[in-house]
Amino acid sequence: MIICALSACDNVDFDGVSVDLVPPPEPEVDATAVPDSAVATEEQPIVLPEGPILYLASRSGTRVTVRPVAEVGPGGLSPLDPDRVPGFREAFVERELASGRSLTLFAEGVRVGTMRVDEVDVNSDGGFCRATPLASGLAEFVPGAVDATRFLAISDDAVDGVPYAPYRPQSHTYEQRVAGLSLASQALARTGATWPPSVLETRADMQAIPLDGDPSGAIAATFMYEDALDVGEPESPRAYSMLVLGTGGPEDYSLDYVWYRPVSDAGKAAARFYEQFDWDGDGQSEVLLEVFGSDTRWVAALDRGESGWTTVFESDCS
């Protein structure tokens, strides 16, 4: 410190300057506080699903590929998010999709085969909106099911006691196709959707569903207006998709469910029937839909309750 004295008048005396150096007060110390340097990063625990896992499955050649889509719990399906906790994806694969893991395959609502995992891609999107593990392996089928290409899969221990059953591939009949057009006409009137020049020409998919073992129990059909049933941009902002589900056949079907998604509301979301079986063990089959957007795809599920068929799950990442 430098102290400078300036000149003053003759009648002023300077007696000097006294300076005291006073340290700042001691900060209050919290005895329970831990210095920043001593704080270790606490890792978030990895909590794996408690219920069985439902898989979307398909066959190519002699191999079956499965992708996990949801956890089956007492309250229905719960989404899987492999990125929610670091290390979750790897831990999930180690427990659920380890080499030799056996998964049960269902097609047309019945147990038709078993697939054993021998290869896993830990991080694959496959065109889906969320990357998930993708497993594949060789499969064994009941007689007649070797031509099936689409399945739902679940771990063997989740379906103990469910017997294998004959696989009977379904082909829709002329009467069912006519019934599907009638259901679409009812749905157009119910939703107020733009009426196409030809309802028949907008039909993009038609499925006969042996619901709960009844070969004529249900039909599902998807209709596309100014759009296509695949991943891609709609042809116009007026585009919409409509899926109808009817039960009661073989000819007189009632309109039980409508999936109507105008592009103008929330973007493209075109659904088609994928497969069905009773994955929650309540005695009635549930239905899984495959949904196509402008640049990705995802799944949704339908279930029956007191008020009829409703959408109970949708894995749309938006």
**In-domain check, residue 185:** yes
User: What CATH number corresponds to the domain at position 148?
Assistant: 2.40.30
Contact (Cβ atoms closer than 8 angstroms) between residue 241 and residue 251: no
Distance CA 282, CA 86 (A): 35
Q: Give which of 129, 209, 134, 133 is closest to 170, Cα–Cα.
A: 209
Whether residues 185 and 310 share a domain: the answer is yes
Instruction: Answer with the one of 159, 192, 221 that is the final residue of a domain.
Output: 159
Neighbours of 219 (CB within 10 A): 28
3-state helix, strand, coil in the chain (%, to 5): 15, 40, 45
Whether residues 146 and 186 share a domain: the answer is no
**In-domain check, residue 301:** yes
Whether residues 297 and 181 share a domain: the answer is yes
Instruction: Say whether 1 sits in a helix, a strand or coil.
Output: coil
Distance CA 175, CA 183 (A): 12
Residue-wise pLDDT tens for the chain (318 aa)?
444 444 444 454 545 555 565 666 665 655 555 555 444 446 678 888 889 999 999 999 889 999 999 999 988 999 887 666 788 888 889 999 999 999 999 999 999 999 999 999 988 888 888 888 899 999 999 988 988 999 999 998 889 889 998 888 888 999 999 999 999 999 999 999 999 999 999 999 999 999 887 877 899 999 999 999 999 999 999 999 999 999 987 778 999 999 999 999 989 999 999 999 999 998 899 999 999 999 999 999 999 988 899 999 998 776
Count: domains in the chain: 2
Whether residues 237 and 211 share a domain: the answer is yes
Provide the residue range defining the domain that includes 101.
53-159
Is the model's pTM score more than 0.95? no
**In-domain check, residue 226:** yes
Contact (Cβ atoms closer than 8 angstroms) between residue 175 and residue 251: yes
Residue 38, both tokens:
């001593």
Whether residues 271 and 305 share a domain: the answer is yes
